[in-house]
Structure 1
Amino acid sequence: MEMTAIILIVCFFILLFINVPISICIALSTLIALTLHMDFTPASITISQQMMGGLDSFALLAIPFFILSGLIMGQGGIAKRLIECAMAMIGFLPGGLALVNVMSCMMFGAISGSAVAATSAIGSFMVPEMKKHGYSENFAAAVTASAATTGMLIPPSNILIIYAIASGGVSIAALFIAGYLPGILLGLALMMVCAIYSIKNNYPVTARLPFSVMFEKIIAALPSLLLVFIVIGGIIGGVFTATEAGAVAVIYALVLAVFVYKEIRLNEMPQLLLKACETTAIVMLIIAASSAMSWLLSYTHIPQMVSEFFLTLSDNPIIILLLINLILILVGAFIDMTPAVLIFTPIFLPVAMQFGMSPVQFGIMIVLNLSIGLVSPPVGSVLFVSCAVAKTAIHKIIKPMMPLYLVMFLVLMLVTYVPAISEFLPRLFGLLD
């Protein structure tokens, strides 16, 4: 069994370092490792069956819907109105534009469920605006990248749906509700760093808008923000499932973008649908390959071996949970979030539960942890998008990223060791025993 794990890890990282796509890395390394236990033909058939079985889940139908709704919102003028709303509310505070950047990413991420979409949609407006008012482009890029990760926690979030499947059936509604407090806490922590950094560097403060203008901007953004209440309220109230909520989100976003804001023409929809199909295909291939690897890990009893190994290291939950977090931070720097959740949830969830952590709390912890990987080199996809938007290089934004990394890690520690941050709201709504 140890040899299977070694072959699996070595093959995976060799393929990864020669720039083989992540889904192919996972599938090929799984196939090679499985040939230690059976001939090539039955091994390839088994892997194919497991890949197809990994996609046989009704909950996964929510993902293409939320991807499409996110694309519609990104092009439908919603980002612009959310930015104007945030500007009206907090733009006059110290470091106002940086705070607006964070708040806009939080709101857009909560609506679209995509960190990359939030980085692109919000960053393409806020980064030039921050540069125009004297902010460093490197600081602007760092703020956009880190703030965009809040959308992974604030629902609706595709990665929370994927975790629900990987964990063996944790309530999606409970996970969605559980993400609110950690996501808001992360956003507030980032805002605090932005304010201190802005004051230290003497960045300008924008003028307070008249109350009538402020009220107008907030009212203009309300139809966009209403989507969150419709989706989450419908799921909690039992009106529809998470999958049906995705379909509702598409219809609402389409009506808003085409008929209310009039930013999208109907003849542009085929292009958006094609892009949604491409993104969905990539995500589903990763899920299929990761499901096959998860099956191999279970087949070879590797999760049990890992659990026994951790128990031999210490019986102190503080040490074990810290060790799990450090491993996941390292993993997140090299592996994209979706395969990491699918592969490492079956490995670490049993260990965490043995030390008293609920599956809901662990889900929020692993998503927040791997969100740090989205903004960490060498693989961090959000970091690359933010640098492209700001027209700067990754090595130039690492310095302004350091205090943001620090507060993200501190929030991660709070989520890890204070269960109430993740569990209070699900318990309040009767979604957690």
Structure 2
Amino acid sequence: MDVAVQAALILFVGVAFFLIIGTPISVGIGVSSALAMFSIVSFDNGLLASAQRMFSGMNSFTLLAIPFFILAGVIMNNGGIAIRLINCAKVLSGRLPGSLAHTNIVANMLFGSISGSAVAAAAAVGSTMSPLQEKEGYDRKFSAAVNIASAPTGMLIPPSNTLIVFSLVSGGTSIAALFMAGYIPGIMWGLACMVVAYFMARKRGYKSAERVTFKQGVRVFLDAIPSLLLIVIVIGGIIKGVFTATEGSAIAVVYSLFLSFVYRTIKVKDLPRIFLESTRTTAIVIFLIGVSSIMSWVMAFTNIPGIIADALLAATDNLLVILLIMNIVLLIVGTFMDPTPAVLIFTPIFLPIALSFGMNPVHFGIMMVFNLSIGTITPPVGPVLFVGARVANLKIEDVIKPLIPFFLVTVLVLMIVTYIPQISLFIPELLGLIK
């Protein structure tokens, strides 16, 4: 058997085996990639090469943004910022039927745009909104579905750790351009959820909230301005070139910590717990990136991306059909794999195909992350689905049925984003981030 074919079989069979038996994805990728490496070179050289690939994969200044943004998200989750954004969302969502559901969606969009974490948004906003909606007579299953469906908007609306990972794997696609490209698709996702919530709320007879006076609205906005300023400072600084995304992530940590101390919601004694929580999450992500570097080397050696590209191009030379196939594959992959490993595995496979058709890498990155974000709310793995159900004290199967309409409408938005590139590229081009 050819060495390249043997290595490819070891890699994919190994990853599939470890996924089936429930091994953590990072361990499965690492062990399978190392075994494939050993089939190519001697054990000693393979061990050395694997260690070198892991180190070089993690040795990136850009990657420093991930632990900082994760830490900022944990601080915000504990620092009283969520409740101020929820109050602001109440004013923004107006007096629509089922106004608390719309408040939940808008709050997830705001919190996600600051923390960059769908799971953090589902936990922070859901834990606050669920009791309020239950008190007003909302069905708990409906409330949980609204929270779960809208939480992933933070994976598209910047800052987004998944877009940072895509930038790294894709060979240096502009993080600023990716961040700006995520705004319209992320907002479209949120608005689509609001449309579904509106019709479901009318059908169930949920009332609108009491009218907020102008004076009350101003007071709420003023209270939320310090939190909202984080978006302006971090994203504005990155776009203007005042600092890099990595430096901006550090500023986000300092600013969110400062706000939390001002609000007196975090004490010095809470910091070790916060640092430990963020360190655990960071370790998982960075280790995953490291072992994926070994896998990337094996895939390059065995020419797996080229083989898959040839197979796709042999089936059709129509870009619309190829994008549909990619979407279907990524939607399926997203149901059992977290976004980060999926980006690390499938970007080297699909991106060259997209580029060969003249597709902009920024547009492709948004399409890919949008796809995989949907996977976070679908079983069997869906981390946002699990967190959202746990926050609402429900079983997973209880929220699947009310979640289906939201799932269908997000897939529809995905198709629109996929086939209309300007939705993603309009803002980056307007700001001169894409030539």
TM-score range, shorter chain: over 0.9
Give the aligned partner of residue 405 of structure 2.
403
Contact 1:134 1:204 in 2 (8 A): no
Tell me if 1:281 matches 2:283: yes
Q: For 1:173-322, what aligned pairs fall within 5 Å after superposition?
A: 173-259=176-262, 261-322=263-324
Code of the aligned partner of 1:57 = S
Q: Which residue of 2 aligns with 1:347?
A: 349
Task: Quote how far apart the aligned CAs of 1:387 are.
Answer: 0.8
Q: Which residue of 2 aligns with 1:121?
A: 124
Higher mean displacement: 412-421 or 88-97: 88-97
Contact 1:258 1:264 in 2 (8 A): yes
Kept in 2: contact 1:30–1:293 (CA 8 A): yes
Letter in 2 for 1:421: I
What SS is found at the alignment partner of 2:278? helix
Contact 1:291 1:343 in 2 (8 A): no
Find runs of 4+ consecutive structure 1 residues off by over 6 angstroms. Answer: none
The correspondence for 2:104, drawn from 86, 101, 105, is 101
Higher mean displacement: 374-383 or 47-56: 47-56
2:74 is the alignment partner of 1:83: no
| 1:336-387 superposed Cα distances (whole Å, 9 cap, x missing partner) | 1111101110110011112231000000000000001101111111110011
Could you tell me how far 1:91 is from its partner in structure 2?
4.7
Structure 1 unaligned blocks of 5 or more = none
Q: Is the 8 A contact 1:332 1:374 kept in 2?
A: yes
Q: Distance in 2 between matches of 1:143 and 1:6?
A: 42
Shift of 1:398: 1.1
Return the offset for 1:89: 2.4
- 8 Å CA contact 2:119–2:384 kept in 1: the answer is yes
Counterpart of 1:42?
45
Cα deviation digits, residues 74-127 of structure 1 (max 9, x gap): 111100001011112225211211111110000000000001100110010112
**Which TM-score applies when normalising by structure 2?**
0.97
Quote the Cα distance in structure 2 between the aligned partners of 1:9 and 1:387. 32
Q: Distance in 1 between matches of 2:383 and 2:235?
A: 27
Does structure 1 retain, via aligned residues, the 8 Å contact 2:177–2:433?
yes
Cα offsets for 1:125-147 (capped at 9, x unmatched): 11221122122211111111111
Distance 1:6 1:327 in 2: 20
Greater shift, 13-22 or 33-42, is seen at 33-42
User: TM (normalized to structure 1)?
Assistant: 0.97
Task: Return 365-374 or 39-48, whichever deviates more.
Answer: 39-48
Aligned counterparts of 1:220 and 1:38: Cα–Cα separation in 2 = 61
SS state of the match for residue 35, structure 1?
Answer: helix
Structure-1 separation of matches of 2:301 and 2:59: 19
Output one character per residue of 1:145-172: Cα deviation in whole Å (capped at 9) or x when no partner. 1111000000011111110000000011
Residue type of the alignment partner of 2:253: V
C-alpha separation in 1, matches of 2:163 and 2:403: 25
Describe the superposition over 1:226-246 as per-residue Cα deviations: whole angstroms up to 9, x where unpaired. 100101110111110000001
Q: Is the Cα contact below 8 Å between 2:7 and 2:298 reproduced in 1?
A: no
Q: Give 2:231's aligned amino acid.
A: V
Q: Name the amino acid aligned to 1:107.
A: L
Pairs aligned (count): 432
Cα deviations across residues 194-251 of structure 1 (Å, max 9, x unaligned)? Answer: 1111111212222112221122111111110110010111011111000000111111
Report the equivalent of 2:10. Answer: 7
Which residue among 15, 28, 35 is the counterpart of 1:25?
28
Work out whether 1:169 is the aligned partner of 2:172: yes
Quick check: 2:29–2:292 contact (8 Å CA) kept in 1? yes
Instruction: In structure 2, give the amino acid aligned to 1:381.
Output: P
Structure 2 SS opposite 1:334: coil
Q: Percent of aligned pairs with the same residue?
A: 51
Letter in 2 for 1:198: A
